[in-house]
C-alpha cells in the first residue's frame, strides 16, 4: 500500500468508528461492557456510598439485573452541593442531611446504565446493570 492508499483506508475506518460510536445501540453495548469501580455481589447489607467534596465514592457500581439494590448514602462534609440524592429514571429524590444515612432501594429490571446525581445534577454517579 502506498501512502495515499493507507490514508484513504484510515479515513474510511475512522468514519466507520465514529458512525458506530454515535449510534444508540453501540452506546448501550458500551454501557454493558464498561467496568464499574466496584462490583457489588450482595446487598444483604446496604452498600455505602459517600458524598463529599470529591463527589460520590464510589462513582460507579456494578450490579446484576433483577437484584434488589440497596444503597446507603452518607454525606460527610458540607463542602459540596450534595444535599439531595436523585435517581431520575427511578423517580427517586431524597434529602441528604449531613452525616445521616439515607437508604435508596430499587430493583433494576433491565441492563444498562442508571445515573444518579445531586439535586442540581452536578455530582454524578452511575449504576451499571449487567
What's the min distance (Å) between Cβ of 114 and Cu ion?
Answer: 18
The site map against Cu ion for 20-59 (x = CB under 5 A) is ----------------------------------------
Question: Which position has the grid cell 464499574?
Answer: 36
User: 49 and 71 in contact (C-beta within 8 Å)?
Assistant: yes
Q: Which position among 71, 96, 104, 118 is part of the footprint of Cu ion (CB under 5 A)?
A: 118
Near Cu ion by CB under 5 A: residue from 13, 17, 18, 81: 81
Assess 98 for contact with Cu ion (CB under 5 A). Answer: no
Written as nine digits, the cell of 31 is 454501557
Q: Does position 96 bind Cu ion by CB under 5 A?
A: no
Q: Which is nearer to Cu ion, 61 or 118 (by Cβ)? A: 118
| Calpha distance 109→94 (Å, rounded) | 22
Amino acid at each position: 500500500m502506498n501512502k495515499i492508499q493507507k490514508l484513504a483506508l484510515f479515513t474510511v475506518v475512522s468514519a466507520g468508528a465514529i458512525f458506530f460510536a454515535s449510534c444508540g445501540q453501540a452506546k448501550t453495548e458500551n454501557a454493558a461492557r464498561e467496568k464499574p469501580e466496584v462490583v457489588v455481589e450482595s446487598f444483604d447489607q446496604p452498600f455505602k456510598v459517600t458524598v463529599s467534596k470529591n463527589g460520590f465514592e464510589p462513582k460507579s457500581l456494578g450490579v446484576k439485573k433483577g437484584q434488589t439494590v440497596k444503597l446507603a448514602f452518607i454525606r460527610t462534609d458540607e463542602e459540596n452541593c450534595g444535599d439531595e440524592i436523585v435517581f431520575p429514571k427511578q423517580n427517586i429524590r431524597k434529602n441528604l442531611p449531613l452525616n445521616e444515612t439515607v437508604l435508596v432501594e430499587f430493583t433494576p429490571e433491565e441492563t444498562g446504565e442508571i445515573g444518579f446525581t445531586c439535586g442540581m445534577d452536578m455530582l454524578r454517579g452511575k449504576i451499571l446493570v449487567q
